[in-house]
């Protein structure tokens, strides 16, 4: 994309309403625009990041055996009456009436709807296990929307729902998602730590939150340094295997949110390894047994001919929140430092002298050779070009100036480290594409 023609608006001033770095930078770098409280339009730069995050989530859900569907945003109140949650869910639920005066709602989550869909087809134990997920906008009328997309009212979530015949099967499904989450966040360049969590209004008895440590996080967490040192990608066995050892390797270390914190157990963690910090919840998984299947009449015929009520779990990832969380974990005073896997552009080619034949030719050549690159071809001074590149946070900057263009070299800057080097165009390409 050529910056001279792109819709990539950046702001010089810091917007007054933004109190944390990610919110500030998302507005300044032109990722999103607030349209009303807690509701955002995604501009090209933000939309590209959101789609990259979404795609990693999708690939890892698919790899773990979940199947993608798409459920609507508008749901019928009747469904929620069946589970008893229509009245239990508070003012966070956006309730609507259609022209026939039928009660509807904008979905804050989908346990009821997916149970209804599944009960329409599942007849026998052979139809299980299944795990269905979708990536869809949710609405929760949060009392205090804040921190930009981190706590919005409309937000994008991946939610998966598992159906199993037995408790053991449900536990296996839970572990599949547990490990899929570790892989998902690691691929995004994020360290998200699984912690014992309260099951809250979804109910049930087993739950973990995946938390990115950040000073601006809303949750207080307690975690052993040993867990922070673990490598998520190294620990994913084949999903068909016995997953208990891989999961236990993580859950055997102390990690808990404030609600689940156990001071006595905390004392057992060696003093030098006790990390008490703030964190951002980017994912949450639950095993809740037959809460929805029983209340909504989902049952199948078991192997012995008797009726079985399936065991269920649900598994959420805050896809839009992840954009903010990634920035919280990767930024400096100048701007964003995107991890490669989710960067909106792989590199920016900065032409320092637009109109100079040698600069133009070398810049065009670099731009054409790097897929997913941005070309700063504006007739701007060098200062603002560098400032925008740092603000938008592209992992690589390829700087083409008149002296270098004449000598056949470019300056290559790695945004994450600030490291700069003069290299031949070929070496620059090898590094970027390597
Ligand atoms: P929180 O405790 O942050 O309010 P929650 O426990 O209500 O979240 P879940 O129902 O577990 O959220 O939803 C799954 C995921 O969706 C969360 O882990 C979080 O990443 C994301 N999420 C929840 N609420 C919001 C929101 N208001 N804005 C953006 N993302 C959200
Ligand atoms: Mg949660």
SS3 for 218-285, per residue? CEEEEEEHHHHCCCCHHHCCCCCCCCHHHHHHHHCCCEEEHHHCCHHHHHCCCHHHEEEEEEEEEEEE
Give pLDDT, residue 261.
93
Q: In this structure, are residues 269 and 224 in contact, taking their beta carbons and an 8 Å threshold?
A: yes
Give the Cα separation of 286 and 190 in Å (integer). Answer: 22
Write out pLDDT tens, residues 130-144: 999 999 999 999 999
128 assigned to some structural domain:
yes
Residue ranges of the chain with pLDDT lower than 50? none
For residue 196, give its domain range.
Answer: 3-329
Give pLDDT, residue 239.
86
Q: Is 46 in a helix, a strand, or coil?
A: helix
Residue written as tokens 């975690």? 223
DSSP conformation class of 55: H
pTM > 0.75:
yes
72 assigned to some structural domain:
yes
Give pLDDT, residue 204.
55
Give pLDDT, residue 206.
86
Q: Which ligand minimizes its atom distance to the CA of 218?
A: 1
Same domain, 199 and 298: yes
Same domain, 162 and 38: yes
17 assigned to some structural domain:
yes
Give pLDDT, residue 132.
98
- Report residues whose beta carbon is within 6 angstroms of any ligand 1 atom: 109, 140, 142, 151-152, 155, 157, 281-284, 316, 318, 320-321
Residue with the nearest Cα to atom 21 of ligand 1? 318
Domain-terminating residue out of 272, 302, 329 = 329
Q: Which residues pair with 347 in a beta bridge?
A: 373, 396
Give pLDDT, residue 334.
97
338 assigned to some structural domain:
no
Give the Cα separation of 253 and 255 in Å (integer). Answer: 6
335 assigned to some structural domain:
no
272 assigned to some structural domain:
yes
Same domain, 99 and 197: yes
Q: Which among 317, 297, 258 is positioned nearest to 133, based on CA atoms?
A: 317
Same domain, 381 and 298: no
**Ligand 1 atom having least distance to the Cα of 218:** 3
Give pLDDT, residue 203.
52
Same domain, 213 and 320: yes
Domain-terminating residue out of 294, 329, 364 = 329
Same domain, 93 and 160: yes
Same domain, 417 and 285: no
Residue with the nearest Cα to atom 25 of ligand 1? 151
Distance from residue 136's CA to the centre of ligand 2 (Å): 16
Between the alpha carbon of residue 42 and those of residues 31, 50, 169, 285, 337, the distances in Å are 6, 9, 39, 27, 19
Distance from residue 92's CA to the centre of ligand 1 (Å): 12
CATH number at residue 367: 3.40.50.800
Domain-terminating residue out of 273, 304, 329 = 329
Same domain, 361 and 419: yes
Distance from residue 420's CA to the centre of ligand 1 (Å): 39
How many domains does the chain contain in total?
A: 2
Distance from residue 250's CA to the centre of ligand 2 (Å): 19
Q: Which ligand minimizes its atom distance to the CA of 212?
A: 1
339 assigned to some structural domain:
no
Same domain, 41 and 190: yes
Same domain, 294 and 424: no
Give pLDDT, residue 196.
87
Write out pLDDT tens, residues 199-216: 665 555 689 999 999 999
CATH number at residue 247: 3.30.930.10
Same domain, 34 and 140: yes
Same domain, 153 and 33: yes
Q: Which ligand minimizes its atom distance to the CA of 321?
A: 1
Give pLDDT, residue 240.
83
33 assigned to some structural domain:
yes
């Amino acid at each position: 994309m050529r910056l001279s023609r792109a819709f990539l608006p950046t702001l010089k001033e810091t917007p007054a309403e933004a109190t944390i770095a990610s919110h500030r930078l998302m507005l300044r770098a032109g990722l999103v625009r607030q349209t009303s409280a807690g509701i955002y339009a995604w501009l090209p730069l933000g939309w590209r990041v959101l789609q990259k995050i979404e795609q990693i989530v999708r690939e890892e859900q698919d790899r773990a055996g979940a199947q993608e569907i798409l459920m609507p945003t508008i749901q019928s109140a009747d469904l929620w009456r069946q589970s008893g949650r229509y009245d239990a869910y508070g003012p966070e639920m956006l309730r609507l009436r259609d022209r026939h005066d039928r009660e509807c709602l904008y979905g804050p989550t989908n346990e009821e709807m997916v149970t209804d869909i599944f009960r329409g087809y599942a007849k026998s134990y052979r139809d299980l296990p299944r795990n269905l997920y979708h990536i869809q906008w949710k609405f929760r009328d949060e009392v205090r929307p804040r921190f930009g997309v981190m706590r919005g009212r409309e937000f994008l979530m991946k939610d998966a729902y598992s159906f199993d015949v037995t408790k053991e099967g449900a536990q296996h499904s839970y572990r599949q998602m547990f490990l899929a989450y570790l892989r998902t966040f690691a691929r995004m360049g994020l360290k998200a730590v699984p912690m014992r969590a309260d099951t809250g209004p979804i109910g049930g008895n087993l739950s973990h939150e995946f938390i990115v440590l950040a000073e601006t996080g809303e949750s207080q967490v307690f975690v052993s340094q040993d867990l922070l040192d673990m490598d998520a990608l190294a620990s994913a066995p084949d999903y068909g295997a016995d997953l208990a050892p891989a999961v236990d390797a993580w859950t055997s270390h102390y990690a808990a949110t404030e609600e689940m914190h156990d001071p006595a157990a905390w004392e057992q963690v060696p003093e030098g390894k006790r990390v008490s910090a703030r964190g951002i919840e980017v994912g949450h998984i639950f095993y809740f047994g037959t809460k929805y299947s029983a209340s909504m009449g989902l049952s199948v015929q078991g192997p012995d001919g008797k009726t079985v009520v399936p065991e269920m779990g649900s598994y959420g990832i805050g896809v839009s929140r992840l954009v903010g969380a990634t920035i919280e974990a990767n930024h400096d005073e100048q701007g964003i430092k995107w991890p490669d896997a989710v960067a909106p552009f792989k590199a920016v080619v900065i032409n320092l002298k637009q109109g100079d034949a040698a600069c133009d030719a070398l810049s065009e050549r670099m731009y054409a050779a790097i897929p997913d690159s941005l070309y700063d071809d504006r007739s701007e001074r060098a200062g603002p070009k560098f400032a925008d590149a740092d603000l938008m946070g592209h992992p690589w900057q390829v700087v083409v100036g008149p002296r270098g263009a004449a000598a056949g070299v470019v300056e290559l800057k790695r945004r994450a480290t600030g490291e700069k080097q003069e290299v031949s165009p070929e070496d620059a390409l090898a590094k970027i594409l390597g």
